[in-house]
C-alpha cells in the first residue's frame, strides 16, 4: 500500500513545463540569444550544444528551432546581435556637429571602448574568421551595421579635407582598419600578451594610456601637423 501511495504521488505531481514563450516571445528570444552567445563564444559553432543551451533557457529545443530554424540560424543571429551591440556606442555618437579632428577622436575612442566592453564579440569574430566569415556573409544585417561607421568616418574625412585639417589621402576604410585592429588586439590577445610581458598595460591606467595611444596613431596618420596629447 505504501508503495502504491508513493507511485500515485509521483504520477500526480505536475511536470515543470516551459511555457513562458507564449506570454512574451520577444523576451524568450532574447534569453535564448544571451545563453547561446555564451555557449558559442566559449565552444564555437561545432562545440556548442543545442540541448545544453535549451536547458539553460526558459524554453525548449523545439522552440529554439521554431525561432531560429536550426543551429546555424541561431549562430548567425548571435553574430548579428554581437555586431549590433558593438556598433551601438558608435551609432549613438553624433559627431556631425563636431569639428573634424574632435569627431575623429570621439569615433576612435568609441570603437576602442566598444571592443573592451564586448569580449564575446571578439571571441565570436575569431571563431568566424576560422570559418572564413562563412556565416557573416550570409547575414543581411552585419554589412549594414558595419557600413554605418564607415559612413560617419567618410563624412569626417570629407569635412576635414575641405577645411584643410586632414590630409588629402585620409581614407575612412583605412582609418577604421587601424582603429579596429588595435582595439581588437587589445582584447583578443590580452591573456597571451599579459602572460608574456606582464599585465601593466591592462590596468585601469594602462588601458587609459593605450586608448590615447590608439587615438594618437589614428589622428597622427591623417591630421596635418598633429601633436599627440600623450606626449613623447
Whole-number pLDDT of residue 2: 45
Q: What percent of the chain has pLDDT over 70?
A: 89
pLDDT, mean of residues 125-153? 90
Domains and CATH numbers, the chain: 22-69 (1.10.10.60), 87-225 (1.10.357.10)
**What is the overall mean pLDDT for the chain?**
88
**pTM, full prediction:** 0.82
Q: How far apart are CA 56 and CA 204, in angstroms?
A: 34
| Tens digit of each residue's pLDDT (9 = 90 or more) over 143-181 | 888 888 999 999 999 999 999 999 999 999 999 999 999
| Tens digit of each residue's pLDDT (9 = 90 or more) over 187-199 | 999 999 999 999 9
| Tens digit of each residue's pLDDT (9 = 90 or more) over 52-90 | 999 999 788 999 999 999 999 999 999 999 988 888 777
Amino acid at each position: 500500500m505504501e508503495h502504491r501511495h508513493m507511485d500515485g504521488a509521483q504520477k500526480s505531481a505536475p511536470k515543470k513545463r516551459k511555457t513562458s514563450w507564449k506570454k512574451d516571445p520577444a523576451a524568450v528570444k532574447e534569453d535564448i540569444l544571451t545563453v547561446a552567445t555564451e555557449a558559442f563564444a566559449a565552444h564555437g559553432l561545432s562545440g556548442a550544444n543545442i540541448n545544453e543551451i535549451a536547458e539553460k533557457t526558459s524554453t525548449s529545443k523545439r522552440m529554439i528551432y521554431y525561432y531560429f530554424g536550426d543551429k546555424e540560424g541561431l549562430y548567425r543571429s548571435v553574430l548579428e546581435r554581437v555586431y549590433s551591440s558593438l556598433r551601438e556606442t558608435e551609432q549613438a555618437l553624433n559627431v556631425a556637429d563636431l569639428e573634424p579632428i574632435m569627431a575623429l577622436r570621439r569615433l576612435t575612442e568609441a570603437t576602442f571602448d566598444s571592443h573592451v566592453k564586448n569580449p564575446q564579440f571578439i571571441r565570436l569574430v575569431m571563431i568566424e574568421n576560422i570559418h572564413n566569415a562563412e556565416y557573416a556573409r550570409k547575414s543581411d544585417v552585419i554589412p549594414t551595421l558595419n557600413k554605418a561607421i564607415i559612413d560617419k568616418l567618410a563624412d569626417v574625412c570629407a569635412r576635414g579635407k575641405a577645411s584643410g585639417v586632414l590630409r588629402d589621402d585620409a581614407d575612412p576604410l583605412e582609418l577604421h582598419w587601424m582603429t579596429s585592429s588595435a582595439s581588437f588586439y587589445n582584447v583578443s590577445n590580452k591573456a597571451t600578451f599579459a602572460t608574456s610581458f606582464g599585465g601593466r598595460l591592462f590596468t585601469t591606467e594602462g588601458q587609459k594610456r593605450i586608448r590615447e595611444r590608439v587615438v594618437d596613431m589614428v589622428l597622427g596618420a591623417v591630421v596635418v601637423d598633429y601633436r599627440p596629447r600623450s606626449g613623447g
